[in-house]
Structure 1
Amino acid sequence: MENNKYFDKLYDVLGGVSLKLTSNIYIGAIKDGMLAYMPFTFIASIFLIIAFLPIQAYQDFMASIFGAGWVGALTMVNSASLGIGGVLVLLTVSRRLAEKMEIDALQIQLTALVSYILLIPFGADDAGNFISVTFLGAQSIFLSLIISIVTCLVYRKIDQKGIKIKMPDSVPPAVSKPFESIIPSFVCIVLFWLIRLTIDNFSLGSALEVFNAVLGAPLQAIGGSLPGAIFVKLFSQVLWFFGIHGDTITNAVMTPILQVLQMENQAASLAGAVPTNIICQSFWDSFASIGVIGSIIGICLVAKSARYKEMKKIAMVPYIFNVGEPTLFGLPLMMNVIYLIPFLLANVVSILISYAAMAMGLVPVCTGLAQVPWTTPLLISGYFATGSIAGSILQLVCLVAAVAIWLPFVKIADKQICQEEAQMAAAATITDTHADKSIRQEEAEETAVAPAK
C-alpha cells in the first residue's frame, strides 16, 4: 500500500514536470523545428555513405567509372542541406514558434533570416562580398535558436501593443499584413544590427563565436559528456516507466546539442581528420538506446507462459526496427516494479560499454558522415555510424549485455505469470466440473420425473 502511494506521488510529480515541458511553446517549437530538419540529415547521409563507403575496391571502381571528381559531386548535396543547417533550423523553429504565438509566421521567418544574416561576418575578395558557409551550417544551430526566440518575442510584444501600420478593413490581408509587419520587423532588425555593431566595436569576433562561447559550449559540455548522457537517458526511462513519452521531452533539449556534435565529427571526417566527439547524434541513436530490446529477446529465450509466448510473436518484428511500443505496452514494462531495475539499467550499461570502447580506440568514433534513421536495424546502423565492422560488433556486445541484464527479471515475471495461468486453469477446471455435475443432476431429475408424467 505504501509503495502504491509512493509511486502515485512520484507519478504526479513527474506528470506535472512533463506537462510543463510539453506545453512549453519554446521547447515545443524547438522540437518541431528539429524534427522538420531531420529528414535532410538522412538525405545527406545517403549521399555521404555512397561517397565514403570504406571499401577500397568500391572506391577504385567508382573512380574508374565517374572520374576523380565523383566524390565532390556527391558531397554537393551535403553542402546544400547540412551545409546550411543553421539556416534550415532558423526557418523551421521561427515558423513553429510564430504559429504557437499566433503571429505572422511568414514575416517572422523573413525577419529572423535578415537578423541572422546581419550577425554573420562578411568576407571580401576580388569578386566582392561573400558569406562563409562556416556560419550557415549546423554549428550555428544555437545561434539560430536564439535569433528565432528573440525575434518572435520582440515581434509579438510590439504587435500586442498595436504599434503597427494599420490599413483599412477593405485592404486584402495579403497586402495589409506586410505593411503591419514593417514596424515590428524594423525593431527586430535594428536590435540585431546594434548587437552586430557592438560585437564588431569591441572586437569580440563573430556572433557565432560569442553565442557558442556563452551558450553552446556549456550545453555541449553537459550534453556531450558521459555523465550528462547517462542522466538524460535515465530521466527519459523514468518518464517512460510512468507512461510518459520520455524521448519526446528529452530529445527537444538534446537534439540541437547532438546535431552540433555530429556535424563537428562530419567536418573532421571530410577533412581527413579523426572525429573526437564520442557522444553525438549517431552515438545516441545507434548505441545509447540498446536496452529494452533485451526484454523481448529474453522472453524468446526463456519464457514458458502462454502470455509471453504470444507476446514475442507480436513484439519481436517491430523491435528489429527499434520500435518498442508493443513491448512497452504489451508486457507491460510501464509501472511494472519487477522490471524497474533492467528498464533503467540496460541503456546505461550500453552507454558505458560503447563510450569505453570508443574512448580506448577499440571502436572508431562515429564519423558523422552517416546519420541513419533510428529505425535502422542493429548491426547495420553500427557499421554505417562508425564506418567499421567494429561498430556492428560493439552493438552485438551491448545487445548481449542488455539481454543478460533482463534475463533474471524475465524469469521472475514469467514464473509468476505461469503460476497465475495455472491457478486460472485450475479454477476453470473446477468451474467446468461443477457445471458438468449440475447438468448431470438436472438430467437425472428430468429422467426420474418423466415416467410419472
Structure 2
Amino acid sequence: MKRIPFLEKLQEKLGAFASKINKNIYVLAIRDAMMAYMPFTFIASIFLIIAYPPVQGIADFITSVIGVEQEVWQAKLLYINSVTLNISGLLVTISASKSLADRLNINAIQVILTSVVSFLLLTPQVSTETGDAIEIVKIGAQSIFLAFVVSMLSAKIYQFISNKGFKIKMPSSVPPAVSAPFESIIPSFFVITLFWIIRLLCEGIFNSNALDLINYVLGIPLTTLGGSLFGIVVAKICEQLLWFFGIHGGSLVSGVMTPILQVLEDGNKSAVIAGGDPVNIISNSFFTHFAGIGIVGAVIAIFIVAKSKRYKEMGKIAGVPYVFNIGEPALFGIPLMLNVTYFIPFVFACAVNTIIAYIAFAIGIVPLPSGLVQLPWTTPLLLSGYLVTGSVMGAILQLVEVVVATLIWIPFIKIEDRKIVSEEQVDTFAEES
C-alpha cells in the first residue's frame, strides 16, 4: 500500500490521543461500569418483551392460557425490571467504584460500600407514615450521572486520606480480613461526612437536592447534545474515523455516549410503561441498531460486484460473522482500515444512515424504540429492528439502510477490486512464465 505522509501523521496524532483516553482511569471506569450493567438490561428486556409483546394477540393468548388478567401477570413480570433497570444508578455506582478502586490500588470492598452509602445519602427521600424512604425510580437511569460523580469523588478522596496515613493501624499479627475494615473507618468517615455536607448545602442554599442539581448542570446539556441529530452524527463520524486508523473507536465513543443514551432509553421505557409513547428519537437502541449500519455494505458490495479471487474469498469469510454484526474479519481481512480508497464510505456511510433513520423516526414512518427491549449489538439486523420498535417497519428501515450502505460502497469496492484483479493477472502471468 502506498505511503501517504499526511495520513501517517494523522494516525500518529490520533493514536497518541486515543492512548491517553484509553489510559484515563475515569473514562475506563465509565466504560467498565456500563459494560458490567449491560447484561442486566438484556435480562430485563426478556421479561419486558413478554410483559409488553409487540402484538396484542400474544398478550391475549397468555391471558387465556394462565387464566389471570393481563395487568396482574404483567405486574409480576415487572419485578425483574424493578431490580435491574430501575436500580441502574446503584448498579453503576458499585461497578464504577470497583473499577476505580482496582486501578487506584485501594480497598475495593470498602470503597464500594462507601460509595453506595454516599450515593444514597445524596439521593432525595420522601416522607412516609413509617419514616423517610427512597423512591426506587430515584436510583434508576436518571441517577447515572450522580453515580459517576459520587464514585469518582469517593474513590479519590478515600485514596487521598488513606495515603496520608489517616487510618487506624492494626498490629501486623491481625489478619487482613479484620484489619482492613478498621483501616477504612477514617477514610470512609471523611468521604461520607463530605457528602453529608454537600447534601446540607444543596438543601440550604439551592433548596434542592444533588440529583436534580447534577442532572441540571451535567445531565441536561449532555443529553441535549447527545440526544440531538448533530451530536449523534458527530459521534458516529468520530467513531469511524478512529476505526479507520486502527483505533478501537467503539470503545472510546461508547465510554462517553452510553450513559447519555441509556438515560434517553430509560425515558422511553418509563413513558411506555406509564401508558404513553416513547419520547426520544435518539436512544441506546437507536445508536446500537440504526446508527451503526455502514460496513455491512462493503461485505454485500463485494458479493455483488467483486471479480477478484481475493475479494470473493474474503466476502465468504467476512459474510458469516457479519450476520451477528461482527466486523473484524472485514476490517482486517479486506482490509478496510488505512485504505485511502475506502476513507469516504468507511467514515461517512454510518452518518448517512443515521440521518436516514432519524428522519424516518421523526416523521413517524417507523415507531420509536420503546426502551422495553434492549438487545446486545450482536443481534442480527432485521430481527433487532423489529424487536426494539415492536414493528416490522423497524426491520424495513434497517433493510433500507443496508441497501443505502451497499450503494455507497459499490463504486469504491469496484475501484479497489479492479486493482486487485490487475495484480492477480500479473501474478498469474509471472507464474506461467
User: Which runs of structure 2 are paired with 1:372-391 in the superposition (5 Å)?
Assistant: 372-391=375-394
Q: Distance in 1 between matches of 2:198 and 2:104?
A: 25
Inter-partner Cα distance in structure 2 for 1:426 and 1:167: 80
> What is the match of residue 24 of structure 2?
24
Which residue of the partner structure matches residue 210 of structure 2?
A: 207
2:41 aligned residue: 41
Distance 1:398 1:206 in 2: 44
2:83 to 67, 80, 83: 80
One-letter amino acid of the counterpart of residue 302, structure 1: V
**Aligned pair partner of 2:367 in 358, 364, 385:** 364
* C-alpha separation in 1, matches of 2:348 and 2:253: 18
Is 2:236 the counterpart of 1:233?
A: yes
2:9 aligned residue? 9
The equivalent position to 2:404 in structure 1, one of 376, 397, 401, is: 401
Q: Which residue of 2 aligns with 1:352?
A: 355
Aligned pairs for 1:31-430 (under 5 A) are 31-66=31-66, 67-68=68-69, 69-430=72-433
Whether the aligned pair in 2 keeps the contact of 1:163 and 1:183 (CA below 8 Å) is yes
Aligned length: 430
For residues 102 and 33 of structure 1, what CA distance do their matches in structure 2 show? Answer: 17
Give me the whole-angstrom Cα distance separating, in 2, the residues matched to 1:8 and 1:119: 48
CA distance in 2, matches of 1:210, 1:203: 9
Q: Deviations over 1:180-239 (max 9, x none)?
A: 111110000010001111111235322211110011111111111111111111111111
Q: What CA distance in whole angstroms lies between the structure 2 residues aligned with 1:412 and 1:121?
A: 61
8 Å Cα contact 1:41-1:371 kept in structure 2: yes
Aligned mates of 2:41, 2:92 — CA distance in 1: 12
1:65, distance to aligned residue in structure 2 (A): 2.5
Which has the larger displacement, 218-227 or 373-382?
A: 218-227
8 Å Cα contact 1:204-1:210 kept in structure 2: no
For residues 170 and 285 of structure 2, the distance between their equivalents in structure 1, rounded to whole angstroms, comes to 51
> What CA RMSD, in Å, does the superposition of the two structures yield over aligned residues?
1.2
Please tell me the residue identity of whatever aligns with 2:348.
L
Contact 1:287 1:350 in 2 (8 A): yes
Structure 1 residues 2, 410: closer, same or farther in 2, change over 3 A?
Answer: closer
| 1:443 match | none
Highest Rg: 1 or 2? 1
Counterparts of 1:116 and 1:199, CA distance in 2: 14
In percent, how many aligned pairs have the same letter? 52
When normalised by structure 1's length, the TM-score is 0.93
Does the 8 Å CA contact 2:101/2:111 hold for their aligned counterparts?
yes
Provide the C-alpha distance between the structure 1 equivalents of 2:183 and 2:142, rounded to a whole number of angstroms: 34
- Which one-letter code corresponds to 2:31 in the other structure? K
Show CA shifts across 1:393-447 (max 9, x none): 11011111000000011111111110110011011111xxxxxxxxxxxxxxxxx
Q: Structure 2 regions of 5+ residues with no counterpart?
A: none
TM-score norm. by structure 2 comes to 0.98
Amino acid of the residue matched to residue 397 of structure 1? Answer: V
For the residues of structure 1 that align with 2:194 and 2:349, how far apart are their CA atoms? 49
Q: Distance in 2 between matches of 1:344 and 1:129?
A: 52
Q: Distance in 1 between matches of 2:347 and 2:363?
A: 25
Whole-Å separation in 2 of the counterparts to 1:157 and 1:318:
47
Q: Which amino acid aligns with 2:52?
A: F
Q: Kindly indicate whether the alpha-carbon contact (under 8 Å) linking 2:258 and 2:284 is maintained by their aligned counterparts in 1.
A: yes
2:126 touches 2:133 (CA, 8 Å); kept in 1? Answer: yes
Q: What is the letter of the counterpart of residue 43 of structure 2?
A: I
Q: Which residue does the alignment assign to 1:448?
A: none
1:131 offset after TM fit, Å? 1.1
Distance in 2 separating the partners of 1:350 and 1:46: 28
Answer whether contact 1:62 1:70 (CA < 8 A) is retained: no
From the superposition, tell whether residues 122 and 423 of structure 1 become closer, same or farther in structure 2 (CA, over 3 Å): same
State the SS of the aligned residue for 2:336: coil
Q: 1:3 and 1:223 mapped to 2: Cα distance?
A: 36
Counterparts of 1:98 and 1:239 in 2: how far apart (Å)? Answer: 29
- Structure 1 unmatched runs, 5+: 431-453
User: Which string of whole-angstrom CA distances, capped at 9 and with x for unpartnered residues, describes residues 55-83 of structure 1?
Assistant: 12111111122311111111110111111
